[in-house]
Amino acid sequence: MRAWILAPLLWLLTLPAWADARMTVLVDLLELQEAAVILSDEGLSHAETLNQEMLGGQGGPGWQMQVESIHDAGRMVEMVRRALEETMTPDEVETAIAFYSADLGSRIVALENAGRAAIADREVELIARANYGVLAGDHDPRIALVRRLIDAANMIDRNVSTALNSNFQFLRGMRDGGALEDSDEDLLADIGTDLDAVTEDTSVWVHAYMLLAYHPLSDAEIEDYATFAETDAGRALNRGLFDGFGKAYEDISYALGRAAALNMVDERL
């Protein structure tokens, strides 16, 4: 009887390790490290713009070291992983693994990362936006397929929320670094005035990016992807990805704002 009791308990003790291993499989299939490096590179480019516009191009090696530390891809992946662990059930993880371990899922991940890296180039982004405008004007059926994906993940609202929260955190960082004196209420009011413009721009960008990324896929393949995105597993996965990357962007934005402010204050002194 004692052996019969211990066996299930020992099996239960292995569950966290098994779940951790399966999440590692999913993180690898999603190529989150590659995605985080692409996003970090975007952040470094943005930081150079801040250097030119806010620091007069005088940030130097110290600024570069700060922004490289702030845009740590490994830390970003860990934040996303934790969000996925909190959001997805074991069954949902297995469903996602099954989808992304297949040929279509693997190609989708590669296309999404390649598309994100490509659209970081301003000229490519403008072409992608123009292409979306043409297809939308012609009522191209591919637009409807892409919108299924957008709606399943609530991409517009979640991206807008991430953008506004990140802007707020950047301004908080600047205030805490001594460059601003506004209250949280003042900062929120200022950011709120951008809501409509940010929503419109985000909608165009998301459509443009997805049309660019999924261009090599057939309509049937995009429809299969949309069908997965509309499942409980697909929705939980996207919720976890947005939660994780959103939190990472907020932390990065706050740290970047504070670093910029401290450098600005040092220059004044």
The residue whose two tokens read 């992304």 is: 100
pLDDT of residue 268: 56
**Residue 184 tokens, joined:** 């949280």
Q: 130: pLDDT confidence band, cut at 50, 70 and 90?
A: very high
**Contacts with 50 (C-beta within 8 Å, 6 or more apart), sequence order:** 256, 260
pLDDT, tens digit, 9 for 90 and up, residues 165-194: 999 999 999 999 999 999 999 999 999 898
Asked whether 5 and 76 are in contact (CB, 8 A), the reply is: no
Q: 180 exposed, middle or buried (CB, 10 Å; 0-12, 13-18, 19+)?
A: middle
pLDDT, tens digit, 9 for 90 and up, residues 84-113: 999 999 999 999 999 999 999 999 999 999
Domain with 134, as residue range(s), is 2-268
**Closest to 238 measured CA to CA, from 76, 83, 42:** 83
Q: 6: pLDDT confidence band, cut at 50, 70 and 90?
A: very low
CA atoms lying within 13 Å on the CB side of residue 205: 17
Question: Is 0.95 topped by the overall pTM?
Answer: no
Q: Look over the chain and give the mean of its residue pLDDT values, rounded to a whole number.
A: 91
pLDDT, tens digit, 9 for 90 and up, residues 12-71: 554 555 568 999 999 999 999 999 999 999 999 999 999 999 999 998 899 999 999 999
Domain count, the chain: 1
Instruction: Tell whether the model's pLDDT for residue 157 goes beyond 80.
Output: yes
Instruction: Tell whether the model's pLDDT for residue 2 goes beyond 90.
Output: no
If you ran DSSP here, which 8-state letter would residue 231 be given? S
pLDDT of residue 264: 86
Tell me the one-letter amino acid at 237. L
pLDDT of residue 17: 59
Asked whether 202 and 156 are in contact (CB, 8 A), the reply is: yes
Q: Vertex 241, ends 206 and 184: CA angle to 5°? A: 80
pLDDT of residue 269: 46
